[in-house]
Each structure stands twice: as C-alpha cells, then as structure tokens.
Amino acid sequence: MQMKSVETRKSELETRRAQLVARMKQVDTELDSHDEKDWDDAAVEQEQDEVLEDLGEAAQAELRSIEAAFARIEEGEYGFCVTCGERIDEARLDLLPATPFCSTHAPGAKVRQQ
C-alpha cells in the first residue's frame, strides 16, 4: 500500500471539516425552524431535537479532532502515535484520518497478551 502524503491527508481533513460545518449549520437551521402546533407535535419535535443535538455534539467533537490533527501537521507530528511515537498504519489513517493513536494505543484497544 502506498502512503498518502501529508498534503493529501490535510486536503481530506479540510474536506471533512467543511462537511461537518455544513452539517452543523443544517442542524442549527432545523432546530430553529420548529413551530409547535400541539402537544403531540411538540413531543415529536423534542425527540427530533434531541437527535439533532446529539448529531451536532458529535460533529463538534470530530471538528476538535480535526483541528488537533491540523496542529500535528504543522508540528510535523501527524501520522505518528502521540503515545508511543510509532507511525500510524495507513489503513487506520484511511478510516480515521484525524486519529492521534496507533491501533495499540487507541482508546478501547484491547491489551495485547505477552
């Protein structure tokens, strides 16, 4: 597998950031657009709002990860695990381009048997 350049990864992160910002604007627009008609409609809208708020919070968390990845790019540390310093596998970066961890040190990674 050929390694992608840091510039290619940066471009992918910029694209994803733009998608997240657009999604957050849509969520805000949807949250602001409700006209409560009656109690039943209000209850349904509240449930939908909770889902939208969760989506917005997830987008904000991913944006923070992307901004941290941009900082690592500027520092020349992108693509290396912040815990052990080893290079992060290309396949992992393909799936999670903003990740700061190798698969061994990712949160929730199983401890390997020795």
Question: Is the predicted pLDDT of residue 15 greater than 80, yes or no?
Answer: yes
pLDDT, residue 114, reads: 43
Every domain of the chain and the residues it spans: 6-79
Q: pLDDT exceeding 70 applies to what percent of the chain?
A: 86
Compute the mean pLDDT over every residue in the chain, rounded to the nearest whole number.
86
This prediction's pTM:
0.74
In angstroms, rounded to a whole number, what is the distance separating the alpha carbons of residues 19 and 90? 22
Q: Residue 81 CB: number of other CB atoms within 10 A?
A: 20
pLDDT digit string (tens) for 63-88?
Answer: 999 999 999 999 999 999 999 999 99
In angstroms, rounded to a whole number, what is the distance separating the alpha carbons of residues 114 and 111? 9
Question: Is the predicted pLDDT of residue 39 greater than 80, yes or no?
Answer: no
Q: Residue 9 CB: number of other CB atoms within 10 A?
A: 20
